[in-house]
């Protein structure tokens, strides 16, 4: 039965915050080497309405003052050292052992995502400058703290603030954060075969937009209940779920999934309305209208005609409309 409740809210545990780690300087804290910050208004003013930030500044937390001499990555991208070039002090082991401990604590907080400061030798997720002796720096490194975070939390949705300016990456990251929160809510309620099947059913269209082959593998995985230990299926499902959602959904896949959804309207919607919806999907595929346009029309028909299977699909509204994430993709 279709309800007026947005799809994302059906699986959302209102009693639990969406907890997201963040490099402190992005919240406007004056923790940078120069005593300044890198306040990102989108994080504080928009996402701050929905997320509870867990602020971490690795350099301050290992005891470096503010302001402080600059530090940088040196050596090779595969095994960089964190060095203060002025004094030659090597901070690698100090930062690494701190990061292991701190990431362990953060895992205990059950984060749903993490936003890192780009280019930082501590927080940068990719393309951080690595200086080799006497040569020019290469943008090929990962910050020491970020590397530990990524290694220890492979399913955690992680992005840099700069990449979040890209509407596609932004939508994907926030979609994954809300999906992570739903998954944790499910775990807290207690994983059972029936609950996992219902969870998977609600995510089918969403998963298909990210990776069709992965979606099919997950279907086979869920169908393997009874032939494999439940715990094994749950663990594999969790890994695959986040792996698939991390793959970028493309307009072509959205078009395929939307066209497939129109098939469910066949009995309820007349030819004219169906043609109108198919034309909007085509317009979206050509880049003439944003994704929100065909989705809004599809949602309208689903609600009006009470199309049971589609009304439960997270794909129709995987995150709050107030974030307007699908207006620009």
Q: Which two tokens stand for residue 168?
A: 């596609």
Smallest gap, in angstroms, from Cβ of residue 148 to ligand SF4? 13
Secondary structure in 3-state letters for the chain:
CCCCCCHHHHCCCCCCCEEEEEEHHHHCCCCCCCCCCCCCHHHHHHHHHCEEEEEECHHHHCCCCCCCCCCEEEECCCCEEEEECCCCEECHHHHHHHHHHHHHHHHHCCCCEEEECCCCCCCCCCCEEEECCCCCCEEEECCHHHHHHHHHCCCCCEEECCHHHCHHHHHHHHHHHHHHHHHHHHHHHCCCHHHHHHHHHHHHHHHHHHCHHHHHHHHHHHHCECCECHHHHHHHHHHHHHHHHCCCCCHHHHHHHHHHHHHCCCCCCCHHHHHHHHHHHHHHHCCCCCCHHHHHHHHHHHHHHCCHHHHCCHHHCCCCHHHCHHHCC
Smallest gap, in angstroms, from Cβ of residue 175 to ligand SF4? 25
Nearer to ligand SF4, 85 or 219 (CB): 85
HSE-up of residue 325 (Cα within 13 Å, Cβ side): 24
Smallest gap, in angstroms, from Cβ of residue 123 to ligand SF4? 4
The burial of 154, by beta-carbon neighbours within 10 Å (0-12 exposed, 13-18 middle, 19 or more buried), is given as exposed
Smallest gap, in angstroms, from Cβ of residue 59 to ligand SF4? 4
Q: Which of 313, 316, 312 is nearest to 297 (CA)?
A: 316
Smallest gap, in angstroms, from Cβ of residue 37 to ligand SF4? 8
Smallest gap, in angstroms, from Cβ of residue 71 to ligand SF4? 9
Chain positions contacting ligand SF4, by CB under 6 A? 23-25, 31-32, 57-59, 117, 120, 122-123
């Amino acid at each position: 039965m279709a309800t007026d409740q947005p799809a994302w809210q059906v699986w959302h545990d209102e009693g639990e915050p969406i907890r997201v780690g963040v490099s402190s300087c992005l919240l406007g804290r004056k923790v940078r080497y120069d005593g300044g910050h890198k306040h990102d208004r989108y994080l504080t003013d928009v996402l701050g309405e929905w997320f509870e930030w867990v602020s971490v500044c690795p350099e301050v937390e290992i005891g470096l003052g503010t302001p402080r001499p600059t530090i940088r990555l040196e050596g090779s991208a595969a095994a960089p050292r964190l060095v203060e070039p002025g004094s030659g002090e090597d901070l690698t082991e100090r930062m690494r052992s701190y990061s292991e401990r701190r990431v362990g604590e953060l895992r205990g907080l059950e984060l749903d995502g993490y936003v890192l400061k780009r280019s930082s030798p501590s927080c940068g997720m990719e393309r951080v400058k690595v200086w080799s002796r006497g040569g020019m720096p290469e943008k090929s490194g990962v910050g020491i703290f970020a590397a530990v975070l990524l290694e220890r939390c492979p399913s955690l949705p992680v992005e840099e603030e700069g990449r979040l300016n890209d509407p596609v990456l932004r939508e994907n990251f926030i979609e994954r954060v809300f999906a992570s929160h739903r998954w944790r809510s499910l775990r807290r309620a207690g994983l059972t075969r029936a609950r996992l099947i219902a969870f998977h059913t609600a995510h089918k269209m969403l998963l298909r937009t990210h990776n069709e082959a992965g979606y099919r593998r997950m279907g086979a995985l869920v169908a393997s209940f009874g032939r494999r230990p439940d715990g094994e299926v749950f663990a594999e499902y969790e890994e695959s779920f986040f792996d698939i959602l991390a793959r970028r959904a493309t307009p072509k896949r959205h078009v395929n999934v939307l066209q497939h959804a129109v098939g469910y309207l066949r009995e309820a919607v007349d030819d004219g309305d169906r043609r109108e919806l198919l034309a909007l999907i085509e317009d979206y595929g050509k880049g003439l209208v944003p994704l929100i346009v065909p989705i809004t029309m599809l949602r309208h028909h689903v609600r009006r005609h009470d199309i049971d299977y589609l009304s439960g699909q997270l794909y129709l509204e995987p995150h709050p409309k107030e974030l307007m994430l699908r207006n620009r993709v």
